[in-house]
């Protein structure tokens, strides 16, 4: 009798585990689509490079670090190494090259030398007083590590593209000129720099003549993005699509929160946290482009992006700021001097209390998404418990 009871309990457990999650019928078409899509996020991006020279990835909040875990998976793939091999990053001033590229191409450095160089590069990576996000340190360290096992002709090349200031020549007048000049024309200047460098790659003897471009938020939008008066807005993506028509694609990675949680709920019901697909001919692409709500428009997601990748659910996102050793007694005064100059030019707020500076910038801080309970509630309202 005992054995029969155990068997019956086992059958009930199996049946209940195999029962599909009940959900709002409004997300049926999304769930059905996902259940018939077997492409992973990584494979989707790599497939786009077959017919495109540039693929722009629209990243999440710079603080969110699981997206850089995805980036590591992507760029360490043998297909990326063999066929692409070049990455343009919004993060990092352009005057870091060739120093940054030389570092990730170097070999056999001691662990101490690697850490010291990573900290040095981060301290001079931003036009503002300090880039405190962990992503810059992490991406550079991972690319250096990947390159250690590659021959010179296969090493990954990286190019930071943000507008630059000379950190050795800072003054109020200098920063005011920058604030009213290069800073105002940031998208145009970043795009011009990418085009300049990419043309050199294309005209070189290098076998790899493709590149991944990492841009945040609107900088990755294509040239369909317009003001309410139909005036075109030239984001970096728009310039690149215009320069390389039919050879450029842009991809949105899942962020917080799209379509009121409907998309995340669909992936949750489909039990899929790693997927990629074209927006065109998908129900996702037909949805209103609610990622931009500052001006009235009738755009759909398929109008703004070539495709979409989903990698990790919001509950698994990790916000990471600060780097161990980024702020120490040898650098804190340099940081505070930069802050004092910038405070006379811009309205940005910066930490000035020593203890707070060390805590926020000089240590690695890992946090979940803000308001994650509210975000989860938005997602779960589409799912019937």
Q: What is the DSSP string of 119-152?
A: HHHHHTS-SSS---BHHHHHHHHHHHHHHTTS-G
59-110 pLDDT, tens digit each? 999 999 999 999 999 999 999 999 999 999 999 999 999 999 999 999 999 9
Contacts of 384 (CB under 8 A, 6+ apart): 21, 22, 23, 24
- Say which residue, 250 or 13, is predicted with more confidence: 250
The Cα 311–Cα 254 span in angstroms is 7
Contact status, residue 214 vs residue 195, Cβ threshold 8 Å: no
Residue 4 is assigned to a structural domain of this protein? no
Residue 303 is assigned to a structural domain of this protein? yes
% of the chain surpassing 70 pLDDT: 94
Residue 19 is assigned to a structural domain of this protein? no
Contact status, residue 134 vs residue 364, Cβ threshold 8 Å: yes
The Cα 271–Cα 212 span in angstroms is 28
Residues 16-43 have a mean pLDDT of 85
Contact status, residue 164 vs residue 127, Cβ threshold 8 Å: yes
Beta strand 157-162 with 307-311: parallel, antiparallel or unpaired?
unpaired
User: 374 lies in which domain range?
Assistant: 24-380
Residue 31 is assigned to a structural domain of this protein? yes
Number of domains in the chain: 1
Residue 311 is assigned to a structural domain of this protein? yes
Task: Count CA atoms closer than 13 A to 47's CA, side-chain side.
Answer: 15
**Rg of the chain over CA atoms, in angstroms?**
23
Helix (H) or strand (E) holding 305: none
| Residue 264 CA to its chain's centroid (Å) | 18
209-253 pLDDT, tens digit each? 999 999 999 999 998 887 767 777 889 999 999 999 999 999 999
Peptide bond connecting 268 to the previous residue in cis, omega within 30 degrees of 0: no
* pLDDT at residue 294 greater than cutoff 90: no
SS3 at position 61: coil
Residue 299 is assigned to a structural domain of this protein? yes
Look at residue 385 in the predicted model and tell me its pLDDT.
65
Q: What is the mean pLDDT of the chain?
A: 92
Identify the band that residue 184 occupies on the pLDDT scale cut at 50, 70 and 90: confident
Residue 18 is assigned to a structural domain of this protein? no
- Say which residue, 291 or 231, is predicted with more confidence: 291
- Structure-block tokens of residue 382: 């589409």
For the chain, first and last CA: distance in Å? 33
Look at residue 21 in the predicted model and tell me its pLDDT.
67
Residue 13 is assigned to a structural domain of this protein? no
């Amino acid at each position: 009798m005992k054995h029969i009871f155990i068997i019956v309990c086992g059958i009930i457990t199996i049946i209940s585990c195999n029962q599909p999650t009940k959900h709002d019928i409004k997300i049926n078409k999304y769930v059905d689509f996902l259940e018939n899509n077997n492409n992973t996020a990584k494979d989707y991006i790599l497939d786009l490079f077959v017919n495109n020279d540039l693929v722009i990835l629209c990243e999440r909040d710079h603080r969110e670090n699981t997206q850089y875990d995805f980036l590591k998976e992507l760029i360490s793939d043998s297909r990326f190494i063999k066929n692409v091999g070049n990455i343009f990053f919004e993060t990092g001033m352009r005057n870091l090259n060739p120093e940054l590229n030389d570092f990730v191409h170097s070999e056999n450095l001691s662990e101490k030398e690697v850490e010291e160089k990573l900290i040095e590069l981060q301290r001079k990576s931003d036009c503002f007083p300090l880039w405190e996000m962990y992503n810059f340190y992490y991406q550079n360290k991972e690319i250096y590590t990947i390159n250690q096992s590659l021959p010179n002709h296969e090493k990954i090349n990286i190019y930071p593209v943000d507008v630059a200031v000379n950190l050795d020549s800072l003054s109020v007048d200098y920063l005011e000129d920058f604030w009213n000049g290069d800073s105002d024309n940031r998208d145009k200047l970043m795009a011009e720099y990418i085009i300049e460098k990419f043309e050199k790659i294309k005209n070189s003897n290098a076998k790899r003549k493709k590149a991944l471009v990492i841009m945040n938020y609107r900088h990755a939008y294509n040239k369909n993005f317009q003001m309410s008066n139909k005036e075109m807005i030239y984001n970096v993506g728009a310039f690149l699509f215009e320069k390389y028509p039919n050879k450029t694609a842009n991809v949105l990675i899942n962020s917080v929160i799209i379509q009121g949680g409907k998309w995340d709920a669909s992936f949750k019901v489909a039990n899929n946290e790693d997927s990629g697909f074209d927006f065109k001919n998908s129900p996702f692409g037909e949805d209103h482009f609610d990622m931009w709500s500052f001006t009235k428009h009738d755009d759909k997601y398929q109008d703004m992006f070539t495709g979409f990748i989903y990698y990790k659910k919001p509950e698994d996102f990790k916000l990471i700021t600060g780097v161990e050793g980024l702020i120490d007694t040898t650098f804190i005064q340099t940081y505070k001097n930069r802050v004092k100059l910038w405070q006379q030019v811009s309205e940005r707020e910066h930490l000035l209390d020593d203890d707070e500076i060390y805590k926020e910038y000089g240590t690695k801080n890992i946090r979940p998404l803000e308001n994650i309970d509210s975000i989860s509630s938005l997602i779960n309202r589409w799912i019937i418990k």
